[in-house]
Structure 1
Amino acid sequence: MPLPFPPQQVQVLRTLLHCTVNKELSRGRVLHARILRDGSFSFTHLANAVINLYAKCGHLAEANLVFDNIVHKDVVSWNCLINAFSQQQAHSSSSHVMRLFHRMMACTTVPNAHTFAGVFTAASNLADVSAGRLAHALAVKTACSEDVFAASSLLNLYCKTGLVAEARELFDEMPVRNAVSWATMISGYASKEFVYEAFELFELLRREKEGDNENEFVFTSVLSALTCHVFVDTGRQVHSLAVKNGLVCFVSVGNALVTMYAKCGSLEDALKTFELSGNKNSITWSAMVTGFAQSGDADKALKLFYNMHHSGVLPSEYTLVGVINACSDVCATVEGRQMHGYSLKLGYELQLYVLSALVDMYAKCGSIGDARKGFEYIQQPDVVLWTSIITGYVQNGDYEGALNLYGKMQMGRVIPNDLTMASVLKACSNLAALDQGKQMHAGIIKYGFSLEIPIGSALSAMYAKCGSLDDGCRIFWRMPSRDVISWNAMISGLSQNGRGIEALKLFEEMCSEGTKPDSVTFVNLLSACSHMGLVDRGWVYFKMMFDEFNIAPTVEHYACMVDILSRAGQLNEAKEFIESATVDHCLCLWRILLGACKNHRNYDLGAYAGEKLMELGSPESSAYVLLSSIYTALGKWEDVERVRGMMKTRGVTKEPGCSWIELKSLTHVFVVGDNMHPQIDEIRLALKLLTKVMKDEGYQPLLDPLLPEIISNGLKDQEVSDEIQLRVCGGL
């Protein structure tokens, strides 16, 4: 049979193929120069071999240049370049593939199955379903759609773009399937969390006894579908089958098993599998580190990363993300900064996932300045990054900053997700900014969010905290499901707005629906009892915590009980309760008792509580002021001077009181003795008129002997008008 090209070129072609397989680029360049010198470049098969050489060696620009210089291009010429660029996965490379394919069609070169395999891969990289469908139609027309490689690439396109129904239809019509086809379809189901469909397909593969197709790719695909604790037994069965088939020796299968057990919450099995893995790579370590971090075992995650580092395995960016998240969970700022430095050293800091994790870590650790620096470094932050920084501001108490960031996010036309809206609603709640909260509610409707958790919980809590209880209740009962956080928010809102009886009734409904209360629930219940003076009911709830729900009382619960007893005038009982407390309460319990003693004018017990605070080194100015005033009332002037001197020596200063009111979408802030407000004269005039009306109606101020100088002149001297009076008159 005659050769399709001159015999003297056979050796050149063979050498080119050898250089391509072994990636001997320098020798290949010499051959390319010889081909140009001898005038052999006009032979298309040699030119195609040169394109393939440069492409396989990663020099796509040179491959493209050789391609452009070919006069008579055949389908192999186009395929060499199309497949080379499609395998790069980058957006620009995939876009170039689509342009090449259009040029190919314009040149009337008929594509074959290899062409379509590359085009479908590029469309998959671009997530361009429309282009993929057009190419699919052309593949059917040219009878290339039944090729297993082309069909598998098309299957991957449909699965990656979420069109699993169309993918399954194509899969069922394939006359021949290989392991890639099965693995792709199973992975498609796994990506959409269709666990049962993925496992049924895996069982179908085994029933059809296509043993050659039960390879490591199929097993890693089916294991990736098992991501919930209810599927851990199924995962164990797949694990046993992998051992039986001798596939656990593959690193990819071992990694998938570790990941599966970790995601299913079976960390003991994950750790055993990890320790038995003979050839651990960065993915193996990353799977185990991430597993510990996601399950809340941050300390174990950090320790494992330390071992990984000392074993000489370099982490991937995903490993670093897992470790940084572990630092976030335990507020390990020092270790988090070390991970930041390590990511810089490895060149991962500019990776979006790593930078997002760093922003989240700094925000959760309270370093909001560092978080903001990392956030501003990114040119086009996505919704995840916006949510991280907004949530960080909320967690650190900068609610106005959080709302300002949300405004910038809107200006950038970034669509928020449910977590973004929940954080912004929390900011509105803490600012009691009802108008802005209503705007957020309108945004929730605009973006089509449902009242599922967490949005429903945050929205009902916002209305409740802003005093709009009817709206809050309406949202609460419209929620399709309610968790303990939702119940807590509503109970707290009712309690704080003087509807304590309704709060206690809501707790009964919560229990009847089968929702188990947590420690926050009992803080809200005890707070309601405190406001209503229900001492006996408070004791019932305090004892119920441990007896019925095995919840150990914390300092917040003890504080509520002290407040209940103090408000009811049972000050000695409160003192005995504090001294019998089994938790480390530091200062707060004595501070509550001190304030109660002042209100009930039990100065001797107040002095006792105040001296306890002095012994503990209280940093609160109010404790010193109250104790000093109590000693004034008792006529103990030496003790007055001693307390004031102690306050000065310790550097304790009194912060001025601050209050605010929202009027016509503007927030007006007032401090004690405020003279900065632009309408301060009109406000003070309104205060003076209101005071006169009150006195004419027979109102007499309740004089407190603790503050004789201030109280006696309080209604006469405008300069001592506190911020609450100014706020009320400003609103009028």
Structure 2
Amino acid sequence: MVFCTDPSLGNLYYAEKVFNYIEDPCLLIYNVMIKAYAKSGSFRKAILLFNQLRLHGLWPDNFTYPFVFKAIGCLREVSEGKKVHGFVVKSGVEFDCYVCNSLMDMYAQLGYVENLKKLFDEMPERDVVSWNVLISGYVRCDRFEDAIKVFRRMQQESNLKPDEATVVSTLSACTALKNLELGKEIHWYVSNEVGFTTIIGNSLLDMYSKCGCLNIARQIFDAMPTKNVICWTSMVSGYVNCGQLEEARELFERSPVRDIVLWTAIINGYVQFNRVDEALALFQEMQIRRVKPDKFTLVALLTGCAQLGALEQGKWIHGYIDEKRITIDAVVGTALIDMYAKCGCIEKSLEIFSGVKDKDTASWTSIICGLAMNGKTSKALELFSEMKQAGFRPDDITFIGVLSSCSHGGLVEEGRQYFNSMTKIYQIEPKLEHYGCLIDLLGRAGLLDEAEELIEKIPNESNKIIVPLYGALLSACRIYGAVDLGERVAKRLVEIESSDSSVHTLMANMYASADRWEDVTKVRMKMKALGVKKAPGCSSIEHSPYEESLQAPFPVALGQTGHGFGHCHLALALQKHHLQLIDQHVMLWSCF
């Protein structure tokens, strides 16, 4: 049985047949099979076998539970996990280090951080794996500050030395927080204590490149005695993330082996910087070389088509997905929904959304935002209600779509309620985009004093947030002829950013709307004296197979366009989400 369940030598199907012939399997045989199922990804079978052994009157031991917890975590079966946790307590192995570590890891996979921390704190003895599970659990749940605190606590409270797993998880937290100081400290520790491994090298590469230290990242890369495809992918991704596409492409061409993740990394780089034609050319080269794309490659290409409004190219990729019988799951479906919505084909987006079986928060958010972008206010808010009823929790991007819909539909009271629910119900801290949507809504409704009060109440206000919000309010002042408020807002803006041409242009336009031509002349003269020039706007059209960029002589300021804040930020937020998803896929793969 042991030989048959060995993934490198045996045959699990044959092991199953042997197991079924055993009349009264002992606990050892059950443990061997449960471990084999968990390692092969047959998680449901592992749990069924665990339940079967209990029905046969056997008591699981500390070799049974770890692989059962792994299966439960991968299946995200919360209720099953809590039930098996209860069995652990009853069987008296709850303080076994091996069992407790695997139980902690299960809660980390399920996202139950408090349970994870409670188990750790109650452990009478901890080994290095215990610390690693807590650190990696925090990282997995995006609690990066907490991960670093645990690392510091490990250094201060424990005699255990951080190992490779500790280093990799902590470096992930450093990367997310751009904590270069701790990253360098860990680099020193690796050089003097642990020693370099391929995995540590990749983690350091990622940390330095994402903290903007590409020279150090390249030194680490060049110093690696042997480089596998993961090393090449890490360095290419580093150049991509810093916008150095030529260097990324040069390294890509030099790589002796190119797998799908490396191809996706370079294609995603071209998409990020609006060089979609080159991304598509690489995709065609992939096909010539018979490299089969995965869903993340297709998501990158669809994201590029969406941001350019390249409908024909997007349709071609959709046709490729159908032709190759690639499953339109939540990830691919979300990208298709977004692409068609940004190209104005909202009915097609709705059709795809209806066809996605396992919808997630991202797919609901994508269709809600798509409807908002296309002016389908009622349908967007209707689907938002359905999303909540289906048990999905809206995120910050969902609320951009919802608030944008309210703005487009003039739903002031509803907009206020949704905005307030972000913090009160969902504990989501509003960002610039959310404040912008509400300012836009209040501005459209002529509630300018309320909009001004809202801006003044923003906590921890910074110029990055205040300037565009006041710009939106100033635009509304022009529309409603609120000259006194406009002057007050403009004065505040000039104090913050005197060189911004849009502020002066909006003031001039506001005075012109109020027939105050003498004031228009004064603004123009002030612009000339300050050396402020009116910036031309820019729009684009698809001109298959290429794109042309057209300059138009009008100033661009947030809140000045007919669509206001919402539509601009909806597109950017969805694009950022797709590109982050692909980047996470590339970097997660690079850790193995």
Shorter-chain TM band: 0.7 to 0.9
Relative to 1, partners in 2 of residues 1:250 and 1:102: Cα closer, same or farther, differing over 3 Å? farther
Residue in 1 that maps onto 2:448: 469
Contact 2:350 2:367 in 1 (8 A): yes
How far residue 535 of structure 1 moved from its aligned partner, in angstroms, is: 8.1
Listed as ranges, the matches of 1:376-391 within 5 Å are 376-378=354-356, 382-391=360-369
Relative to 1, partners in 2 of residues 1:376 and 1:523: Cα closer, same or farther, differing over 3 Å? farther
How far residue 225 of structure 1 moved from its aligned partner, in angstroms, is: 4.0
Aligned mates of 2:64, 2:399 — CA distance in 1? 49
Listed as ranges, the matches of 1:86-235 within 5 Å are 86=70, 89-92=73-76, 99-100=83-84, 102-108=86-92, 112-133=96-117, 135-136=119-120, 140-141=123-124, 143=125, 145-146=126-127, 148-161=128-141, 162=143, 163-165=146-148, 167-169=150-152, 171-172=154-155, 173=158, 175-191=160-176, 193-196=177-180, 198-206=182-190, 208-211=192-195, 214-225=196-207, 231-232=211-212, 234-235=213-214
Relative to 1, partners in 2 of residues 1:324 and 1:525: Cα closer, same or farther, differing over 3 Å? farther
> Which among 54, 73, 79 is matched to residue 63 of structure 2?
79
Amino acid at match of 1:361: M
Contact 1:158 1:167 in 2 (8 A): no
Question: After superposition, what is the alpha-carbon deviation per residue over 1:482-502, rounded to whole angstroms, capped at 9, x for unaligned?
Answer: 465323312211111123465
How far residue 22 of structure 1 moved from its aligned partner, in angstroms, is: 0.9
Residue in 1 that maps onto 2:230: 252
**Rg larger for:** 1
Contact 1:324 1:339 in 2 (8 A): yes
* Secondary structure of residue in 2 paired with 1:90: helix
Aligned mates of 1:217, 1:188 — CA distance in 2? 15
Aligned mates of 2:503, 2:391 — CA distance in 1? 37
Amino acid at match of 2:150: A
Contact 2:76 2:110 in 1 (8 A): no
Relative to 1, partners in 2 of residues 1:149 and 1:32: Cα closer, same or farther, differing over 3 Å? same
How far residue 323 of structure 1 moved from its aligned partner, in angstroms, is: 1.3
Residue in 2 that maps onto 1:454: 433
Listed as ranges, the matches of 1:534-545 within 5 Å are 534=517, 537=520, 541=524
Contact 2:490 2:503 in 1 (8 A): no
Contact 2:416 2:438 in 1 (8 A): no
Aligned mates of 1:300, 1:486 — CA distance in 2? 36
How far residue 504 of structure 1 moved from its aligned partner, in angstroms, is: 5.8
Aligned mates of 1:201, 1:294 — CA distance in 2? 32
Listed as ranges, the matches of 1:327-346 within 5 Å are 327-345=305-323
* Secondary structure of residue in 2 paired with 1:492: helix
How far residue 179 of structure 1 moved from its aligned partner, in angstroms, is: 1.0
Aligned mates of 2:163, 2:537 — CA distance in 1? 60
Query: TM-score, length-normalised on structure 2?
Result: 0.75
Aligned mates of 1:520, 1:309 — CA distance in 2? 50
Relative to 1, partners in 2 of residues 1:360 and 1:538: Cα closer, same or farther, differing over 3 Å? farther
> Which among 287, 296, 306 is matched to residue 318 of structure 1?
296
How far residue 227 of structure 1 moved from its aligned partner, in angstroms, is: 7.0
Amino acid at match of 1:251: V
Residue 271 in 1 paired to residue 253 in 2?
no
CA RMSD for the aligned pairs?
4.2
Aligned mates of 1:411, 1:82 — CA distance in 2? 35
Amino acid at match of 2:494: C
Aligned mates of 1:258, 1:281 — CA distance in 2? 13
* Secondary structure of residue in 1 paired with 2:202: helix
Relative to 1, partners in 2 of residues 1:524 and 1:390: Cα closer, same or farther, differing over 3 Å? farther
Contact 2:507 2:523 in 1 (8 A): no
Give the stretch that moved more between structures: 109-118 or 391-400: 109-118
Contact 1:90 1:125 in 2 (8 A): yes
Aligned mates of 1:540, 1:62 — CA distance in 2? 75
Relative to 1, partners in 2 of residues 1:341 and 1:423: Cα closer, same or farther, differing over 3 Å? same
Contact 1:239 1:257 in 2 (8 A): yes
Aligned mates of 2:349, 2:535 — CA distance in 1? 35
How far residue 318 of structure 1 moved from its aligned partner, in angstroms, is: 2.0
Contact 2:318 2:336 in 1 (8 A): yes
Residue in 2 that maps onto 1:24: 11
Contact 1:293 1:323 in 2 (8 A): yes
Gaps of 5+ in 1: 1-11, 557-581, 586-732
* Higher RCO (CA-CA < 8 Å; seq separation 6+): 2
Contact 1:155 1:185 in 2 (8 A): yes
Question: After superposition, what is the alpha-carbon deviation per residue over 1:608-659, rounded to whole angstroms, capped at 9, x for unaligned?
Answer: xxxxxxxxxxxxxxxxxxxxxxxxxxxxxxxxxxxxxxxxxxxxxxxxxxxx
Question: After superposition, what is the alpha-carbon deviation per residue over 1:679-714, rounded to whole angstroms, capped at 9, x for unaligned?
Answer: xxxxxxxxxxxxxxxxxxxxxxxxxxxxxxxxxxxx
Relative to 1, partners in 2 of residues 1:111 and 1:322: Cα closer, same or farther, differing over 3 Å? same
How far residue 392 of structure 1 moved from its aligned partner, in angstroms, is: 2.3
Question: After superposition, what is the alpha-carbon deviation per residue over 1:37-66, rounded to whole angstroms, capped at 9, x for unaligned?
Answer: 8x8x55x65665555555555556666677
How far residue 153 of structure 1 moved from its aligned partner, in angstroms, is: 3.0
Residue in 1 that maps onto 2:481: 498
Relative to 1, partners in 2 of residues 1:325 and 1:29: Cα closer, same or farther, differing over 3 Å? closer
% identity of equivalent residues = 20
Contact 2:406 2:412 in 1 (8 A): yes
Residue in 2 that maps onto 1:355: 333
Relative to 1, partners in 2 of residues 1:515 and 1:31: Cα closer, same or farther, differing over 3 Å? farther
Listed as ranges, the matches of 1:362-401 within 5 Å are 362-378=340-356, 382-401=360-379
Aligned mates of 2:529, 2:73 — CA distance in 1? 57
Aligned mates of 1:524, 1:389 — CA distance in 2? 37
Relative to 1, partners in 2 of residues 1:277 and 1:468: Cα closer, same or farther, differing over 3 Å? same
Aligned mates of 2:98, 2:370 — CA distance in 1? 50
Aligned mates of 2:45, 2:409 — CA distance in 1? 61
How far residue 528 of structure 1 moved from its aligned partner, in angstroms, is: 4.3
Contact 1:86 1:94 in 2 (8 A): no
Residue 236 in 1 paired to residue 219 in 2?
no
Gaps of 5+ in 2: 540-549, 554-592
Relative to 1, partners in 2 of residues 1:373 and 1:51: Cα closer, same or farther, differing over 3 Å? closer
* Secondary structure of residue in 2 paired with 1:209: helix
* Secondary structure of residue in 1 paired with 2:63: helix
How far residue 368 of structure 1 moved from its aligned partner, in angstroms, is: 0.9
Aligned mates of 1:305, 1:429 — CA distance in 2? 39
> Which among 438, 460, 468 is matched to residue 485 of structure 1?
468
How far residue 331 of structure 1 moved from its aligned partner, in angstroms, is: 0.5
Contact 2:336 2:349 in 1 (8 A): yes
* Secondary structure of residue in 1 paired with 2:432: coil
